[in-house]
Amino acid sequence: MTLRFASRLDNVETSAIRELFKLLGKPGIISFAGGFPDAAMFDVEGVREAANAALTEEPGAALQYGATEGYQPFREQIVGLMAAKGVQSLTPEQLIVTTGSQQALDLLGKTMISPGDKVIVEGPTFLATIQCFRLYGAEVISAPTDENGVIPEALEQLIAEHQPKLVYLIPTFGNPSGALLSLERRRQVLEMAVRHQTLMVEDDPYGDLYFDAPPPPSMLALSDSVPGSRDYLAHCGSMSKVLSPGLRLGWLIAPAELLGKCVMCKQFSDAHTSTFSQATAAQYLKAGRMPATLDRVRTTYAARSKAMGEGLRSQLGDAVRFVQPLGGMFIWVQLTGARGQETDGNALAKRAIEQGVAFVPGTPFFAQNPDTSTLRLSFATADIARIEEGIARLAKAL
């Protein structure tokens, strides 16, 4: 039997990261490959209490079908979260709850992209975004980046040349780069959104995971100071990296017309995000446990990031180049080829697994012109002892 699949599948393939996970069954392997939060950081007791409160206070609402836009108490809590991060004058009606921020990206693809449309992303960027936009027929174009994120002058040149449907950015501790876009660059991006009347999509799943000083305000928070920019800005948020990815909770803040189209497409997709997950998260936020949870996660990840950076410097020396991240979950590494050592991240990944350590080569994170000398290391799920051992194994593989 031959099935005739949709032509849209011709331009996408399975995730290189998910395929890599199939190789991780080897006993004793240390993985820096995943982009997962550490399960040991989950506030299990707090989530249990929140779930019980949801079932006690509003059991009917928590277990029933709900509005596509989201469970109202949770939307109100999101407004409070965003206000604490400098987003003023936001109302629950200006956001919808999504099944993880990944669904927000999918809804933006469905509503904005027609086959042949152009979309600009950072090079490198979140792999699933490239796949998602290509699924809807987009030509995905990479904007140059440096250690501080996307380069505004290069981005504006690409916008003028290609007139894209949208530009997708992860300004704060990006995946995979870990880069942090400066305050000035954020303003420049908002100004060019107005100048070129181009939708900017700000994806912000990592902004709460800073190690020392908080990052600059989000582009959404800054938009009030750049007249007209809110009309060309969509903001994606998530609970996955700070509370639990298993709850599958994200949100999308966008101009009213775009938000309405996304609600319509979500109705066709899943009707609504789990009301029980939303009710649980609403109770959790209402109980005020999030600040302590974030403090614990930040402290743990900061120590692990430092240990990984120190290990790379001491064990691999000038064979690698990287910028120590100020937050997030990743270190983006470039192989320099010093002393004739390996410069191909894909080749090193295979040898590393033989040595008992895994990472993701950087190639899949580029929509165009991949830099094969790059690799992504996640410090989130391994403790310091395993990080030190894993980097030692990586040095042997190199």
- Mean pLDDT per block of 10 residues along the chain (398 residues) reads 84 63 70 92 97 97 97 98 95 98 97 97 96 96 96 98 98 97 98 98 98 97 97 98 96 98 97 98 98 97 98 97 98 94 93 94 95 97 97 96
- Whole-prediction pTM: 0.95
Q: DSSP readout, 60-123? A: HHHHS---TT--HHHHHHHHHHHHHTT--S--GGGEEEESHHHHHHHHHHHHH--TT-EEEEES
Three-class SS state of 196: helix
Q: DSSP readout, 286-300? A: HTT-HHHHHHHHHHH
Name residue 80's amino acid.
Answer: G
Task: Answer for the pair 243, 293: CB distance below 8 angstroms, yes or no.
Answer: yes
Instruction: Provide the token pair at 79.
Output: 């407004």
Three-class SS state of 140: strand
Question: For 214, which DSSP code?
Answer: P
| pLDDT score of 35 | 86
Residue 178 backbone zone (phi > 0: left; psi -120 to 50: alpha; other: beta): left
Task: Answer for the pair 222, 82: CB distance below 8 angstroms, yes or no.
Answer: no
- The bridge status of strand 357-358 relative to strand 30-31 is parallel
Task: Answer for the pair 36, 380: CB distance below 8 angstroms, yes or no.
Answer: yes
